[in-house]
Amino acid sequence: MEYIIPLDSRIAVLCGGMSSERDVSLRSGKNVLGALHRLGYKNAEIVDVSSNVAEDLKGFEYAYNTLHGKYGEDGCIQGILEILKIPYTGCGVMASAICMNKEYTKRVLSTCKDVPLIKSVFVQKGEDVFKAVEGLNYPLITKPVSEGSSFGMTKVNEPEELEKAYEEATKFNDDVLIEEFIDGFFVTVGVLGEKGKEFATEILEIRTKTEWYDFDAKYTKGLSEFIVPATGLSKEATEKVKKIAVKAHQTAGCSGVSRVDFMIKDDKPYFLEINTNPGMTDTSDLPAQANVCGIDYDNLVLMILNSAGLNK
């Protein structure tokens, strides 16, 4: 893998932060720091992001963003880095802000006829949730509109369960996305590369021991089986998922790295969301996907680091 960022550069590995995904981010940051040191970037350091981040970043030349959730994936830290003129990894302000909001991601992608979206409603604070879902078929999934790692998500099998699920989602965001539940299996595909030359990784299929791919299934070893390359799709569906993933990445204005999630039912993909800052923990999807493509963890970190020098 080509080195674009000079080895003597001072690199801030941004992690921790102030979101509900803080612990996951710390794990990502620790792993990335180890990789950077192995790659020869001895001046890379952890920066646990707080409200004093502008002060904490003084003297750093690049930022490797491993923040997840609010302030880290929503354009906030990206805006600060733009003001400070510090090149950073991954997606920019606009793409980060759009993709952090599941509803606005779907609105942007609705302009692409080739991206299959799940039927859903967007419920804002003060609206009648029961009236809002009248056109949907149960079971449903309630989601905070701007959270990750499945925080605040609930499967709703009957109308009697809706109010409690909706209230759980509003603990994280005032606005809630409610989708029809797709009774299939979960797949995810990474998108890497500089603008105009993006490519999809192999597709990772996830079979869980839980009812659906919730927080426990994502971050507890043994609760999910990673199958990569995916075996549950036909060759045609596999190519379609990869094509849609790259198209969604480009349409949303993403750069450097993203991970696009789908549900598969009857060999048909249904778009779920774009993650603009995928996890880099021991159990995260993107490293597993890249590894099957011949990109080991350290070279994946280097590829993402290079996006700080290529995509801005």
β-strands 62-65, 11-15 pairing: parallel
Place of tokens 């997840």: 68
Q: Is 279 labeled as catalytic in the residue annotation?
A: yes
The range of the structural domain enclosing residue 149 comes to: 120-180
Cβ 267 vs Cβ 241: under 8 Å? no
What CATH number corresponds to the domain at position 261? 3.30.470.20
Q: Is 149 labeled as catalytic in the residue annotation?
A: yes
Cβ 65 vs Cβ 71: under 8 Å? no
- 276 and 226 both lie in a single domain: yes
- Residue 239 placed within a domain: yes
Helices (H), the chain: 22-39, 53-56, 76-84, 93-100, 102-109, 129-132, 162-170, 215-219, 235-251, 285-292, 297-310
Among the listed residues 20, 25, 88, 259, the single catalytic one is: 259
Tokens at 283, concatenated = 């159990």
Q: Is 273 labeled as catalytic in the residue annotation?
A: yes
Stated pTM of the model: 0.90
- Summarize pLDDT for 11-61 with one digit per residue, the tens: 999 999 998 889 999 999 999 999 999 999 999 999 999 989 999 999 999
Among the listed residues 19, 20, 21, 31, the single catalytic one is: 21
- 297 and 257 both lie in a single domain: yes
Domain count, the chain: 3
Q: Is 239 labeled as catalytic in the residue annotation?
A: no
Q: Is 73 labeled as catalytic in the residue annotation?
A: no
β-strands 256-265, 224-227 pairing: unpaired
Q: Is 157 labeled as catalytic in the residue annotation?
A: no
Among the listed residues 261, 284, 306, 307, the single catalytic one is: 261
- Summarize pLDDT for 169-183 with one digit per residue, the tens: 999 889 999 999 999
